[in-house]
Amino acid sequence: MRAVERSGGDAIGLNFFPNSVRYVDPQSPATGRLSRLANELGLLRVGVFVNESAERMAAIAATVGLDAIQLHGDEPIESAESLRSMGWPVLRAIKLPRGGFAAALMQERSAAWVAAGCHLLLDVDAGSAHGGSGKTLDWPSVAAWAQGHRSVGWTLAGGLKPENVRRAIEATGAVSVDTASGVECPRGVKDESRIRAFIAAATG
Ligand SMILES: O=C(O)c1ccccc1NCC(=O)[C@H](O)[C@H](O)COP(=O)(O)O
């Protein structure tokens, strides 16, 4: 976490999906300590959830101490509306095919979430794993959609790593990027040098 802050990163994700290799237990004192340290370092704390009720997400967010809630499953739009009405910033993962996709597909999958006030996180459809696939999106398709939707807030995810993040930014015009597996070695364990290299490449 200190590597994120020292290198100029601005957010961390706390993953509350029990099937993820990145899962952290919301009841564990260690998770609360992690959250407090992130807050002291000025990092935004994003809770990643899959198919939890709005009430449970809000309760975990308040207990652990989160700044935003990321919906990464098949949640209904009402979950976002409910969280927004409670004042929570919400990121919505829009899961897209690996190959090229039409801007119309992206529009169809995202319009209601944008209308509900969500920030979009564009990620590869990872099936039952939901996220953390390490696979990249078709960047030209992302760029084509983004050019027509300049007022929409979005973050690029999916297979981003130190070796490709600069190319991804240049290809898509992303102003914010997210990574999970791309800064790990071995899988599930964050690697300080890869975090530093990722942020340097993204911001440089
Ligand atoms: O990372 C996970 O294990 C995960 C599992 C279930 C839902 C979401 C998950 N991650 C959320 C993220 O925002 C990841 O950063 C995103 O999926 C990109 O992952 P990667 O391709 O490994 O960079």
Q: Which domains does the chain have, with CATH numbers?
A: 2-203 (3.20.20.70)
User: What pLDDT score was predicted for residue 204?
Assistant: 86
User: What pLDDT score was predicted for residue 160?
Assistant: 98
Q: What is the pLDDT of residues 77-129, one digit of tens each?
A: 999 999 999 999 999 999 999 999 999 999 999 999 999 999 999 999 999 99
The residue whose C-alpha atom lies closest to atom 9 belonging to ligand 1 is: 131
**Phi and psi angles of residue 156, each rounded to the nearest 5 degrees, phi first:** -90, 130
User: What pLDDT score was predicted for residue 172?
Assistant: 98
pTM of the model: 0.97
CA 102–ligand 1 middle distance (angstroms): 23
Contact 80, 91 (CB under 8 A): no
ipTM over 0.90? The verdict is: yes
pLDDT < 50 positions in the chain: none
Q: Which residues line ligand 1 (CB under 6 A)?
A: 13, 15, 17, 20-22, 48, 50, 72, 123, 130-134, 157-160, 178-182
User: What pLDDT score was predicted for residue 5?
Assistant: 87
